[in-house]
Amino acid sequence: MFKVLVSDPISDLGIQQLVEANDIEVDKKTGLSEDELVAIIGDYDALLVRSQTTVTARIMQAATKLKVVGRAGVGVDNIDLEAATQSGIIVINAPDGNTITTCEHTFAMMMALARHIPQAYAKTIGGTWDRKSFLGVELRNKTLGVLGMGRIGSEVAKRAKAFGMDILGYDPFLTQERAEKMGVKLASVDDILQHADFMTVHTPLTPETKHMISTPQFAIMKKGMRIVNCARGGVVDELALVEAIEAGIVAGAAFDVFESEPPQADHPFLHNPHIIVTPHLGASTVEAQENVAIDVSEQVLHILRDEPFKNAVNMPPVAASVMNKLQPYFGLGEKLGSFAAQISAQAIQEIRIDYAGELSEVDTQPLTRYILKGILSRHLGSEANIVNSLHLAKVRDLNVIVTSAPSTRGFTNLITVTLTAQDGSTQQVAGTLLSGYGERIVRINDYSVDVLPAGHQILVSHTDKPGIIGNVGSLLGQKNVNIASMQVGRKIEGGEAIMILTVDKDVPKDVLVGLVELPNLNTAKVVVLV
């Protein structure tokens, strides 16, 4: 008999399959402190939580029988994943349970925005019959721009087509073939800004997406745009949006999320008649709460019964002999993937990973998962993890090619990551572990380098001319950006070259603009590796 502890309020219908199982005993004990959980967790084989319970390393250490922690929801920030992995405890979540609910809330917000429903309701119940002030617009024959064509964005696009809308879809991993299958026109962010009548955001919040819609984007935006955000606060710059509304660029906005929740009483969204707000209700339906509980309960059953399962978010079991060889390369692999993704300007359509040396003698799939996580996390944030990265690549029609060979061109082991964009351009990064020195990037495209993959870096491409290094150093000094180290790679004297600078802090955008304006300097990109 397996014992399952439910420590947060979870739908009874959602855990019904556990309650009715002949080999499962379910206890519901909510509101427990860490000490109380530590005292009893040793009796249980599974733990089900939502967001209230924080599953700490101390709880894991006391959980001598625990096989699985199930999170009835998407995020797992309240679970110590590293401690769970070290203890051999599987952590699962329910990433699909709120897809339709969030999609439908997006459409509710879009309709309310188009027809001024909250404003008209407030005025009507206030005793004023005013039909003239609330002239709306139809969705039919309008263009909808969808930023992020993942699970939720794709469902929104499907429903928008039923409303007679034309769809422009942006996603860094959206291929032309997949866009055509969905009846969506593949577009850039700028295409959407310049041509869409409505825009809806469905991206995670990452360093890449934070304020991806801000003052520069509003400057080129089609006048009369209406913006919906039921994804994450911070993707749209809130203050810049208010300014764009006041300037007549944006006709209105509907937001379910804020950069800081709950918002302060003086938040400008709360007092602007052109902005509709709701208190993060995207997943708040009876069906969604039940679905996430049903999904996670089903997977808990599979795990306890040693049956195939899905939606794990920590490291799957790996043979100790393989783990010993691969583990030193996990951090390097993720950083190589992240570096390659950050220097790729185009949407990726193919990922090639080449292993050379002793790594070719073992099953490298666990390491491949880390590399893919590094690549995908640039745009998907915490949605991508070492368990689901292969699946996420597959559902986005990314072609993943993995090869291995004994030859390493002088290194004990060499990992090479090559990203191919839809226009055929490639970005390649290779790395290894050097005895006594640790992780190193040893090649960027056609240039040999020796770079520690850590911290804030600037990758510069330039023509190999006297004075380039001095000009770059002077500009960074003027902008109070301190250089910690520098590497230069070139093939021939006077030809094309690259420069990699490690700096002490984040690099403001105006610094990059200043760099590319220097003579003989072609491009400048920031790479952040943590």
Pairing of strands 426-434, 413-421: antiparallel
Q: Where are the beta strands (DSSP E) in 136-202?
A: 143-147, 166-170, 185-186, 198-201
Phi, then psi, of 490 in degrees rounded to 5: -150, 160
Residues 352, 402: Cα–Cα separation, whole Å: 6
Q: Which of 195, 211, 267, 280 is catalytic?
A: 280
Are 432 and 414 contacting, i.e. CB atoms less than 8 angstroms apart?
yes
Token digits for 207? Answer: 């360093």
Pairing of strands 496-503, 483-490: antiparallel
Are 169 and 146 contacting, i.e. CB atoms less than 8 angstroms apart?
yes
Q: Which of 202, 232, 378, 456 is catalytic?
A: 232
Within 13 Å, how many C-alpha atoms sit on residue 191's CB side?
A: 14
For residue 115, give Cα distances in angstroms to 139, 257, 406: 10, 21, 65
Residues 162, 139: Cα–Cα separation, whole Å: 10
Token digits for 420? Answer: 């191919």
How many residues would you count in the chain? 530
DSSP code at position 27: E
According to DSSP, the residues that pair with 499 across neighbouring strands are: 460, 488
Active site (annotated) includes residue 261: yes
Residue 358: Cβ within 10 Å count: 12
Residues 138, 220: Cα–Cα separation, whole Å: 24
Sign, Cα dihedral of 107, 110, 112, 115: negative
Token digits for 168? Answer: 């422009």
Token digits for 444? Answer: 């960027």
Q: Which of 20, 131, 140, 261 is catalytic?
A: 261
Residue 261: Cβ within 10 Å count: 9
| Closest alpha carbon to 93 in 269, 365, 300 | 300
Are 2 and 43 contacting, i.e. CB atoms less than 8 angstroms apart?
no
Q: Which helix or strand (DSSP H or E) is residue 445 part of?
A: none
The arrangement of strands across the sheet holding 521-529 comes to 483-490, 496-503, 455-463, 521-529
Enzyme catalytic residues = 232, 261, 280
